Amino acid sequence: MTQIKNPRRKLDGVLLLDKATGVSSNRALQQVKHLFNAAKAGHTGSLDPLASGVLPICFGEATKFSRFLLDADKTYLVTAQLGVITDSGDSEGAIIAENPVPEFADADILRCIAAFKGSGSQVPSMFSALKHNGQPLYKLARQNITVDRPARDIYVHEYELLSRTHDTVTCKIKCSKGTYIRTMVEDLGNALGCGAHVTSLRRVQAGPFGIERCYAYTDLEYIEDLPGVLLPVESLLSGLPKVVLDETDAAAIRNGKQIHITSGALGLVSAFSADNNLLGIIEVCAAYAKAVRITSARNVAQLGVG
């Protein structure tokens, strides 16, 4: 007799996972998806196996809005080993150089850190997950293949020295999307003249979500009501202005029609029905445009201001 498989559950919401070290983001996702027996899930922004911390997992409808978290600022705690340079920029790589570490004063380190605050550009590491012709860069790097990578614009909001020893520094960094912390550590090591690599990395904030709200996978295994730990889909949109539409306009949005409003913020807003159900993301603009349904994969509707 053929055994009938347990059907996957349709879940909508966001799990705030505290990813453990030694696990890839994709592996962590698959573990959680299996534990929840979820039909559809995805993570929002990879963390290296070396790194731990905030890894939001989106289920069902939440996956349509994951880009709003991918675009959000992130905050990290990082510890760097001075005087040792690795090919990957972290402790998982091979050591390629060792240098003496001078007797730095705190002021020397703070001066170098200050130079990296604000707007700048960064060339992604060859050991990143970015793809070149469909191949992750880190796979090419492991084959000793190097390709040109265009520099990216980044912004460092905060760069704080938390503690240090003779040959280590621990910092807190709040930065824009697409910023590679290992590259920042390598740049700091170069600025200090001795080189450096990452030995510990923990993401403590991703957009509105802090580490204090996250669940470790080992804790989830003992929770009976797993869906009860999920945040609502709209939690991904807390950074957007909110508009509430009456029944007529809500119905029009659901049916892909254009509507007009008399006031409200311009740009992207989250739209809710009068009974506080999420309708979708709408763009409020001066000129009308066609609206699309929330269930569309292209989940940005547009709204004219009348």
Q: What is the CA radius of gyration of the chain?
A: 23
Q: Are 280 and 299 in contact (CB under 8 A)?
A: yes
Q: Which two tokens stand for residue 204?
A: 């403590």
Q: Are 88 and 186 in contact (CB under 8 A)?
A: no
3 state DSSP class of 139: helix
The catalytically annotated residue of 48, 87, 187, 249 is 48
| Residue found by looking up tokens 């807190």 in the block | 172
Rounded Cα distance between 245 and 255, Å, is 14
Residues 6+ away with beta carbon under 8 Å from 235: 14, 208
Active site residue 87: no
Write out the DSSP string of 245-280.
E-HHHHHHHHTT---EESS--SEEEEEEETTS-EEE
3 state DSSP class of 221: coil
Interstrand relation of 300-305 and 278-285 (parallel, antiparallel or unpaired): parallel
Q: Which two tokens stand for residue 216?
A: 């470790």
Cα-to-chain-centroid distance, residue 168: 26
Residue 206: name the closest of 233, 239, 184 by CA. Answer: 239
278 C-beta neighbours (distance < 10 Å), count? 19
Residue 127: name the closest of 198, 175, 205, 189 by CA. Answer: 198
Give the catalytic positions in this structure: 48
